[in-house]
Structure 1
Amino acid sequence: MSNKTLELIQNVRLVGREGLWQLAFENGRIKAIKPMCETQPESQQILDGRGGLAIPPFIEPHIHLDTTQTAGQPSWNQSGTLFEGIERWAERKALLTHEDVKQRAWQTLKWQIANGIQYVRTHVDVSDPTLTALKAMLEVKKEAAPWIEVQIVAFPQEGILSYPNGEALLEEALRLGADVVGAIPHFEFTREYGVESLHKAFALARKYDRPLDIHCDEIDDEQSRFVETVAALALRDGIGARVTASHTTAMHSYNGAYTSRLFRLLKLSGINFVANPLVNIHLQGRFDDYPKRRGITRVKELLEAGINVCFGHDDVFDPWYPLGTANMLQVLHMGLHVCQMMGYQQIDEGLKLITDNSARTFGVQDYGIAEGNAANLIILPAENGFDAVRRQVPVRWSVRAGKVIATTQLSQTWVMLDEAEEITFGG
């Protein structure tokens, strides 16, 4: 199996266009997009897309690669709560080594590449005087660059003000090369600390010219309202497009009057949102009797208000989430269910929540299947977005800079009744 440089991809479907198309590449970029024709060029560097759906690569806008592959080490999160997860991680963090972090991160990165992900934003815990995980992840980022673009968020897991020297460690992480400023205001000791931590994070973003991605209001407490401070500071500094509020699960519990006022500010600020359906539905509602809240932010309402929202994993096989294979279609599938976005058009266009919308959050330039753009794309064995989501199809090919970097051999299923029949689960 070789990752040959392609000149042409034929027989693919494109979103919003009828029929089959061909994509011509030159120097790692898309040179031309044309309808399929009967005349076949003479070249060995052609990939037959077999009628699959070609879309931009998947983007993972929120994951913790420093914690991945640690579920059950040294013990399992028995309560399933966010806060026990933090306790279990504190135990495992004491055992971190440089090579340990790199090995685990690379294992999950390979899963991501196999699943058609070509851009990853990873939060890395910097509540550590040695910054062991950060230094390891900076190496991984450089090593992985030919195949997958990694952004690193300097994430103060135990707080900026509530952890000894938290602010200094956060700034040191930025000096060392972290790409994004993080914060976790709802985990600070007091509300006042939480607000102050956001002011400090925004000050560092201005000083180092970095975007921000805030773990924000990841709690079922309806009084946790740090997202309004995030939006107000983003509006003040005119940097909404470079600011992301991740989780915001408390918004699920806000009253209608407050939410109406809040949405006006969110719209004015232009900030981005990341929901993490697999983990949010698992961790939230743990302190409820019945009925139990879903505990995911107001995805549908945010989208209807014209506010950018995308979906991420958050965790893969770690103290907060014991499952996962880094498959973005699993994330989307769960998200569409728990957000009650099950209309045909919502499902068909759902891929935007793990592609185009994520690209805005990530700040990707040169993204999308268009002439002149980088030849980065994936091909799904599906007729359209609805089909891809319904059947949870694998990524048949992942192409980066005109080279195939991952491929999946499709499985076959047969039933043996009166006669053998192949089952494709098609509609």
Structure 2
Amino acid sequence: MSSPLAFPSDGHYWLKNAHIPPNLVKIQVNFPENCQFPRPWEDLGLYHLEIADGKIKNIIAVGQGEESDLVTHDDVPRVDLSKRMILPCFVDMHTHLDKGHIWGRSPNGDGTFAGAIASTQRDAANHQQPEDVYRRMEFGLRCSYAHGTVAVRTHLESAGQRGQMVWEVFRQLRQTWADRLTLQGVAMVITDYYLTPEGEKLADQMTEWGGILGGVAYAGPQVEAQLTRLFSLAQARNLAIDLHVDENGDRRSRVLHQVAAIALKIGFTGQIVCGHCCSLDVQSPQQVQQTLDLVKQANIAIISLPLCNLYLQGRDRPQEPAWRGITKVHGIQAQGIPLVFASDNCRDPFFPFGDHDGLEVLNQSVRIGQLDPPYGRWCATVNHTPAQLMGLAGHGCLAVDVPADFVIFPARYFSELFSRSQGDRLVMRRGKPTHHRPPEYQELDNLMGFGAMGS
């Protein structure tokens, strides 16, 4: 922070002069016709927020003529943010916590997708201990929490005995972290698994454990039968579906189109989320429009994971720039299809970087996806939209009587937010600053099998 902020111990105060994207503030604003906003391309409004009892009690848009009411509250302390930005806490809707933070012991030498799979499989074979999985997953959650996240959805390897162990660890973590983070788990298998008796058993377990059916659907002659079976299992159990599809640059890969067509054919009534959808960006305009029309009709939400895909893809031509890593985010947004950006993998063979930070995801997505101003509409992709999709009432936006969970940044404008590190952000939980920091990497050294010298 440019200057320290002091908050009263009783948690009742006014936050004055906060810059917030208007689409993330749920109040009716009627500005005067002649009202002029500086820097309209920034898409920021100026607000006062009253915080009490861990909730937002009042929101006033500066310029509405109601600011004089503040003067009558002489007994309520005021904290002037001087146009510092506020965003609702982040919601990270696509992660892989069970794989996370193994890069130090299992790197991916060639950076390819095949190399990532092979390295991850070797690591799983050599490190089956529940403690290993628990500590790495919790390390990721501590990073998320420190950066200002309130909810995480993670895909979990779910086949065989290791899958049973991973889910047991996740259920323990979900209970331990229940008062700090909302956690959702998705069954991660290749979709041919659902054609087997084990696939039906997994669907039953997701019903028992409060999970989501999912996995990776690869293009091929059997994918239609696999998806049909998956949808039937989910429909019978009232389960949601969250899939990896078209994570490649092959224009012939149209699994997203097949998912939407099958959902409409069988009349699937549950929620459907599809992640990656990269090949959509290299298909013809006619094919893109056909697919997006079906996606819209089937009420499918799309999650783009550009950080990981930008790293993995295009490796067949390393000597020259190549397309990689992004779907048709502008077309998806324009059609009114729910769009989310998320972390995906962190510090593992699929992506050796990342810190479970919603701001980094937004920042890099703006650059990679050419998400031009006004920026406020894109901010919703890392809080409001995923919060709605995950059923998180009272999260993802700022409104009266919702929990006062938000992040205060030193930046006053998006041009500052996206240009300079915001490591000194202030995360507010229930109206009080948390001052949590991300855990030190050294904590994982012994678990990774490194000695005192880190070798």
Give the TM interval when normalised to the shorter protein.
Answer: 0.7 to 0.9
Q: Is the alpha carbon distance of 1:18 and 1:335 closer, same or farther for their aligned partners in structure 2, counting shifts above 3 Å?
A: closer
Q: Cα deviation per residue 1:348-402 (whole Å; 9 max; x = unaligned)?
A: 5432221222223323222221112233222222224443223342362223334
Unaligned runs of 5+ in 2: 1-5, 23-43, 439-455
Counterpart amino acid of 1:344? P
Hey, what does 1:245 align to over in structure 2?
274
SS of 2:239's equivalent? coil
> Is 2:146 the counterpart of 1:117?
no
Hey, what does 1:69 align to over in structure 2?
101
SS of 2:154's equivalent? strand
Quote the Cα distance in structure 2 between the aligned partners of 1:402 and 1:70: 35
* Alignment length (residue pairs): 400
61-70 or 124-133, which moves further after superposition?
124-133
Q: Cα deviation per residue 1:180-230 (whole Å; 9 max; x = unaligned)?
A: 1102111xxx72332222222222222322211101111222221111122
Decide which of 120, 129, 139 is 2:172's aligned counterpart. 139
Hey, what does 1:31 align to over in structure 2?
57
Report if the CA contact (8 A) 1:70-1:318 is conserved.
yes
SS of 2:169's equivalent? helix
Q: Cα deviation per residue 1:76-109 (whole Å; 9 max; x = unaligned)?
A: 2112112221111111112222221111111111
SS of 2:84's equivalent? strand
Decide which of 107, 110, 113 is 1:79's aligned counterpart. 110
Decide which of 2, 19, 24 is 1:13's aligned counterpart. 19
Quote the Cα distance in structure 2 between the aligned partners of 1:255 and 1:18: 39
Q: Cα deviation per residue 1:126-160 (whole Å; 9 max; x = unaligned)?
A: 0233411111011101111111111111111x443
Counterpart amino acid of 1:297? T
Decide which of 366, 382, 403 is 2:411's aligned counterpart. 382
Q: Is the alpha carbon distance of 1:146 and 1:287 closer, same or farther for their aligned partners in structure 2, counting shifts above 3 Å?
A: same
Counterpart amino acid of 1:362? M
Counterpart amino acid of 1:211? A
Give the CA deviation at 1:403. Answer: 4.0
> Is 2:387 the counterpart of 1:359?
yes
Q: Is the alpha carbon distance of 1:235 and 1:407 closer, same or farther for their aligned partners in structure 2, counting shifts above 3 Å?
A: same
Give the CA deviation at 1:315. Answer: 0.6
Report if the CA contact (8 A) 1:25-1:32 is conserved.
no
Q: Calculate the TM-score normalised by the size of structure 2.
A: 0.79
Quote the Cα distance in structure 2 between the aligned partners of 1:251 and 1:272: 14
Quote the Cα distance in structure 2 between the aligned partners of 1:10 and 1:78: 49
Report if the CA contact (8 A) 1:113-1:148 is conserved.
yes
How well do the aligned residues superpose, as a CA RMSD in angstroms? 2.9
> Is 2:87 the counterpart of 1:55?
yes
Q: How does 1:328-407 map to 2 (within 5 A)?
A: 328-341=358-371, 343-345=372-374, 347-367=375-395, 368-394=397-423, 396-406=425-435
Hey, what does 1:295 align to over in structure 2?
325
Give the CA deviation at 1:164. Answer: 7.3
Q: Is the alpha carbon distance of 1:91 and 1:353 closer, same or farther for their aligned partners in structure 2, counting shifts above 3 Å?
A: same
Quote the Cα distance in structure 1 between the aligned partners of 2:237 and 2:137: 26
Q: Is the alpha carbon distance of 1:96 and 1:363 closer, same or farther for their aligned partners in structure 2, counting shifts above 3 Å?
A: same
Counterpart amino acid of 2:123? R
Report if the CA contact (8 A) 2:404-2:428 is conserved.
yes
> Is 2:202 the counterpart of 1:170?
yes
Quote the Cα distance in structure 1 between the aligned partners of 2:12 and 2:424: 20
SS of 2:333's equivalent? helix
Q: Is the alpha carbon distance of 1:202 and 1:335 closer, same or farther for their aligned partners in structure 2, counting shifts above 3 Å?
A: same
Q: Cα deviation per residue 1:245-287 (whole Å; 9 max; x = unaligned)?
A: 1001111221222222212212222210001111011111223
SS of 2:402's equivalent? coil
Report if the CA contact (8 A) 2:194-2:226 is conserved.
no
Counterpart amino acid of 1:101? V
Report if the CA contact (8 A) 1:330-1:392 is conserved.
no
Q: Is the alpha carbon distance of 1:48 and 1:128 closer, same or farther for their aligned partners in structure 2, counting shifts above 3 Å?
A: farther
53-62 or 357-366, which moves further after superposition?
357-366
Decide which of 198, 209, 216 is 2:227's aligned counterpart. 198
Quote the Cα distance in structure 1 between the aligned partners of 2:427 and 2:157: 30
Hey, what does 1:183 align to over in structure 2?
215
SS of 2:161's equivalent? coil
Hey, what does 2:344 align to over in structure 1?
314
Hey, what does 1:90 align to over in structure 2?
121
Quote the Cα distance in structure 2 between the aligned partners of 1:331 and 1:18: 23
Hey, what does 1:425 align to over in structure 2?
none
Q: Calculate the TM-score normalised by the size of structure 1.
A: 0.84
Quote the Cα distance in structure 1 between the aligned partners of 2:9 and 2:176: 20
Quote the Cα distance in structure 2 between the aligned partners of 1:3 and 1:217: 51
SS of 1:199's equivalent? helix
12-21 or 193-202, which moves further after superposition?
12-21
